[in-house]
Structure 1
Amino acid sequence: MTNGKIGVTTENIFPVIKKFLYSDHEIFLRELVSNAVDATQKLKALASRGEMQGELGDLTIRIAVDTDKRLLTITDRGIGMTADEVDRYINQIAFSGAEEFMAKYKDQAIIGHFGLGFYSSFMVADKVEIITRSYKEGSKTVHWECNGSPEFSMEESDEAHDRGTTIVLHLSEEAKEYAEADKIEELLRKYCRFLPVPIAFGKVKEWKDGKYVDTDKDNIVNDTDPLWMRKPADITEVQYKEFYHELYPTGEEPLFSIHLNIDYPFHLTGILYFPKIRNNFEIQKNKIQLYSNQVYVTDQVEGIVPEYLTLLHGGIDSPDIPLNVSRSYLQSDSNVKKISNYITRKVADRLQELFNTMRPEFEKKWDDLKIFIQYGILTDEKFAEKAQSFMLWKNTDGKYFTPAEYEELVKANQTDKHQTLVFLYVDDPVAKLAALEAAKGKGYDVLEMNGPLDNHYVNWYESK
């Protein structure tokens, strides 16, 4: 039995973690499951290089709750840890105080710092246990325990335990909601639904052979191969639509999709959709889900995705964006600006492609697409330049024209004595029918401008 203190001071780290490192307590589950995924992926890498003896076997990560005992367990069959590794990764975080600790880690990704991600568990637990056995031949089972103070106990034994690690959280009274199956399943589907290792969830049945055994071993809650990880050439239009409805079960059919895939100078994959939006578009924002190596990060993507594209739906995945995205990071990191520019370019290129290759369908969907394109024109100068070749104006006869096409159509009959081209438009063809008919009687063509952004767009166009 080993007893000791965590870190190199007697200062209690746990209130620091609760107050500063994680603003949302539910993030603890993401951190613990992601650590389990990391341990599993490392084992697979070792096996692929011939550095591991034996069979990989079932690598499913198992999560279970015992509501009555307020227990939550996360079990993996990854690389596990020896006593020395537990001491290095868990006990010797080596901080000299809260300020130094936060200065070092506040803008870094937590995943990859096993000890830090693990310590998020103390936001919700009165006591935490680690039962682990390394994949290395001859390893003993290590049992570590801590009640939320800097003191811990650790012992090695010949106790039966499968290769890998089990984390047991003895949840606090204040966090008892995390012992409810519905709550945990909700969080798993939010944060872990696309992790690359199968995750099974169920209720604890019993403790057997060194691990908690759950009742629903086949209740896999995640998709290990999300659509954005596949090659666009291998995906059908039906699959794109099915994936959209997986993300947004109550959503209408999307208008179009855009598959993002780039490896240099940064890594980014994803699928974005143009949803149907007509009037109150503000409520449609924050529908893009941001992932880092298939781990959910946030749906607050301002600063990563240009403002007007926050109206889009879908998911993007980039390992170049850390899990704990901060405003200071977004403002200072050069990759974020490159990602934003890339997405703008890809959206513009896709719209141009759709316009060039399927204009009748593009026109058919224009009334839904217009708000995206106008919003982009009004807020992004680079997009505005590209959009002139696929921006459409609709006249009161229901015909569509690009600005250049429309100028060619009306210049002979709507150029005044100062050689200024005059465009006529109406915001309500019914209420202003008399004026509209009078204009048409003189041979003038009249545009219909009655969308939520049309007044702003007209002012922008006139200023140009």
Structure 2
Amino acid sequence: MSKGNIGVTTENIFPIIKKFLYSDHEIFLRELVSNAVDASQKMKTLSSVGEFNGELGELKVSISIDEKAKTLTISDRGVGMTAEEIEKYINQIAFSGAEEFVDKYKDDANAIIGHFGLGFYSSFMVAKKVNIITQSHKDGAKAVKWTCDGSPEYTLEEVEKEDRGTDIVLHIDEENENFLQKAEITTLLNKYCKFLPVPVVFGNKTEWKDGKEEETAEENQINDVAPLWTRTPSELKDEDYNQFYKDLYPMSEDPIFNIHLNVDYPFNLTGVLYFPKIKNNVEVQKNKIQLYSNQVFITDSVENIVPEFLTLLHGVIDSPDIPLNVSRSYLQADGNVKKISNHITKKVADRLAEIFKADRADFEAKWDSLKLFIGYGMLTEEKFYDKAQKFSLFKNTDGKYFTFDEYKDIIKENQTDKDDQLVYLYTTNVEEQHSFIEAAKNKGYDVLVMDGQLDNHFVNHLEQKFEKSRFVRVDSDVAEKLIPKESTLESQLSAGDKDDLTSVFSAQVPNGDKMNFIVAFEAMGKDSSPAIITQQEFMRRMKEMSAMQGGGGMNFYGEMPDSYQLVVNENHPIVERILADKNEAVGKEADSLRSKIESLNGKRQELEKAKEGKKEEEIEQAQKDELADVDKKISELNTKKTEVLSKFSTDNKLVSQLIDLALLSNNMLKGEALTKFVKRSIDLI
């Protein structure tokens, strides 16, 4: 037996390994099983190139627990190690045997997982003592046992071992005894080792018999050594891809379709990416891509490997060329990562374009599920936008689909405004905005459905991309003004009529802390609605974006009340009737007050003109007092006029009915107001 010191630069290396080398202690099992797989793969390689002529036999990795002895053992029948190799690869920390082996056998080596030579030492995160019992495959080599208790000192002695390979025996410490539980180890093996290329065995399979679970004689193999992504696409069917998806995500619906990745230049990359049925919620669907390195699970946080929008996809990516730090849990910045990211983006875009060209009807049928994903990509990745604009679709309220170019040609003639801008009309809710959609369609306009989670941002993005174009929500104005053209309709109301009716309708609109109404008048056809509620496009978009972003720099807009316009049709017969009722009830009084206000306004203009060219101190106090008195009288008369017209409005059921009908068409009439509307409707009938 010999003793020695492990080749480290400081005696504090083990506490550092125990606490900081890996973010999760559970990683130790992945590392040790990966090393055992490496040893088995090396054995295959040596046999295939003729450097080992013995019986290869069954190559597998076995995990076993001895609860009484409090040990966890990982065993393999791989190449094993001699005493000299233990000195080289175990006692000299961070000298990677795997990397040296790959370099020597790079043309023949099976998948080799290890990169850093530190994986073995992760065992000291959970063990108070570790034994390596190993027998090299080399002729005449003697079996040896290496023992270390977590200090830089170790012992190495010759022992008897029946077969080649290595047993790693971990004497689990008190803090980590959960790793002696069968359920815990089963969970970790399924997480990290489910697709390793060498069989991984843990215990025996069980079956239910006579109402209880009993162990069978059949070994329990954890992994699929040839997972779907390692196989040739030509030998796979749709059922194979769907079954693999169900294995990965047992509770999910079937995916829309998939992309099989297989790249060997300028980097190695394999995998299968699935387009899931997205239910309009970005966050819930993220982080479903599993990243592997030579079939060893690394992480499902792949933001640094794939572009942000591709994190909505599900599936597997496997690449030995993605650089990892010692924990294999966090990705480093590297040129290969960007190349891989760009390639996946291109591959996804090309596959979508391919499907679109091959079967457009099928693509359209799947569009509602694809829309969020494609829109997200076009918003966040310029290169994806360039490709996707050829197959991205608009859907209109008739359920028809168009490419961007197709739709532009369809609406160009009828939806170009007087400033030669192309106007894209859209709705965010077909049901709630139905009356506005119908009004627009009656004028020969087409209306798009933009009701997706990201469509508010997407509309802004397209306005920047499309030349001389703008998007207008169908309820942002009356149909006659959605696409401004030369107006031929003239108003039948005088300025005084409009002034009075503004007070009449303003008295009834439901202004409050959460909403604010402005009364406006528009000359529309007699067949148009008598009153319509619209919401100004810019402010609505700002508020919606503020809500999506949780405030931030746009919080100013989020805190403002919703601003609406009650647009009154000046030419509608009901509005004319309300005007006639007003004239009969309070017309003389309103006219008299208006006449006095106009007279005082004339006086005020004279007083203001007299001040012109004078400094403040040059104006006589009498002049100032007279102006203040005129302003006071004008204010009092305006208040009086508003009160007179407001009282008329309150007593007039037609005014209330028109406003409530406008609110109702916008789904804004609820609760007590709706009850009153129903009762009033009955009374009017």
Q: 1:456 to 1:200 in 2, by over 3 A?
A: same
Distance 2:201 2:166 in 1: 15
Tell me the amino acid that sits aligned with residue 392 of structure 1: L
Give the number of the structure whose residues are more often helix, by fraction. 2
Name the residue aligned to 1:58.
58
Name the residue aligned to 1:75.
75
Name the residue aligned to 1:274.
275
Contact 1:28 1:117 in 2 (8 A): yes
Name the residue aligned to 2:290.
289
The CA deviation at 1:6 is 1.3
Contact 2:64 2:73 in 1 (8 A): yes
Paired residues in the alignment total 438
**Superposition map of 1:406-445 within 5 A:** 406-445=407-446
Residues 1:198 and 2:199 are matched in the alignment = yes
Distance 2:230 2:188 in 1: 22
Contact 1:202 1:216 in 2 (8 A): no
SS state of the match for residue 160, structure 1? coil
Residues 1:145 and 2:147 are matched in the alignment = yes
Contact 1:200 1:217 in 2 (8 A): no
Q: 1:42 to 1:427 in 2, by over 3 A?
A: same
Name the residue aligned to 1:29.
29
Distance 2:123 2:355 in 1: 48
SS state of the match for residue 218, structure 1? strand
The CA deviation at 1:343 is 0.3
Distance 1:42 1:463 in 2: 57
Tell me the amino acid that sits aligned with residue 454 of structure 2: L
Distance 1:34 1:328 in 2: 18
Tell me the amino acid that sits aligned with residue 126 of structure 1: K
Q: Work out the percentage of aligned pairs sharing the same amino acid.
A: 63
Distance 2:37 2:352 in 1: 38
Residues 1:111 and 2:114 are matched in the alignment = yes
1:260-307 deviation line (CA, Å, top 9, x unaligned): 111111110110001111222202111101111111111111121000
Task: Give the superposed CA RMSD.
Answer: 1.9
1:404-449 deviation line (CA, Å, top 9, x unaligned): 1111111122122222211111111211111111111111111111
Q: 1:171 to 1:215 in 2, by over 3 A?
A: farther
Distance 2:328 2:29 in 1: 20
Q: 1:327 to 1:200 in 2, by over 3 A?
A: closer
Distance 2:10 2:421 in 1: 79
Name the residue aligned to 1:251.
252
Name the residue aligned to 1:381.
382
Distance 1:362 1:383 in 2: 18
The CA deviation at 1:21 is 1.9
The CA deviation at 1:65 is 1.3
Q: 1:420 to 1:218 in 2, by over 3 A?
A: same
Contact 1:297 1:323 in 2 (8 A): no
The CA deviation at 1:30 is 0.8
Structure 2 residue runs of 5 or longer lacking an equivalent are: 96-111, 205-214, 466-685
Name the residue aligned to 2:658.
none
Name the residue aligned to 1:17.
17
The CA deviation at 1:353 is 0.7
Contact 2:263 2:269 in 1 (8 A): yes
Q: 1:421 to 1:112 in 2, by over 3 A?
A: closer
Distance 2:184 2:260 in 1: 32
Distance 2:28 2:216 in 1: 23
SS state of the match for residue 221, structure 2? coil
**Superposition map of 1:24-423 within 5 A:** 24-93=24-93, 111-114=114-117, 116-157=118-159, 159-202=160-203, 218-324=219-325, 330-331=332-333, 333-423=334-424
Distance 1:78 1:36 in 2: 7
Name the residue aligned to 2:99.
none
Distance 2:322 2:69 in 1: 38
Give the structure-1-normalised TM-score. 0.91
Give the structure-2-normalised TM-score. 0.62
The CA deviation at 1:153 is 1.1
Distance 1:321 1:390 in 2: 31
Tell me the amino acid that sits aligned with residue 277 of structure 2: K
Contact 1:278 1:371 in 2 (8 A): no
The CA deviation at 1:19 is 3.0
The CA deviation at 1:69 is 2.8
Of the structure 1 ranges 359-368 and 319-328, higher mean CA displacement relative to structure 2 is found in 319-328
Tell me the amino acid that sits aligned with residue 77 of structure 1: R
Distance 1:62 1:160 in 2: 16
The CA deviation at 1:94 is 8.1
Contact 2:324 2:330 in 1 (8 A): no
Tell me the amino acid that sits aligned with residue 197 of structure 1: V
Tell me the amino acid that sits aligned with residue 16 of structure 2: V
Distance 2:415 2:253 in 1: 41
Contact 2:324 2:331 in 1 (8 A): no
Contact 2:30 2:193 in 1 (8 A): yes
Contact 2:94 2:116 in 1 (8 A): no
Distance 1:67 1:405 in 2: 70
Distance 2:338 2:8 in 1: 40
Contact 2:298 2:329 in 1 (8 A): no
Contact 1:201 1:217 in 2 (8 A): no
SS state of the match for residue 354, structure 1? helix
Structure 1 residue runs of 5 or longer lacking an equivalent are: 96-108, 204-213
Q: 1:368 to 1:267 in 2, by over 3 A?
A: same
Tell me the amino acid that sits aligned with residue 442 of structure 1: K
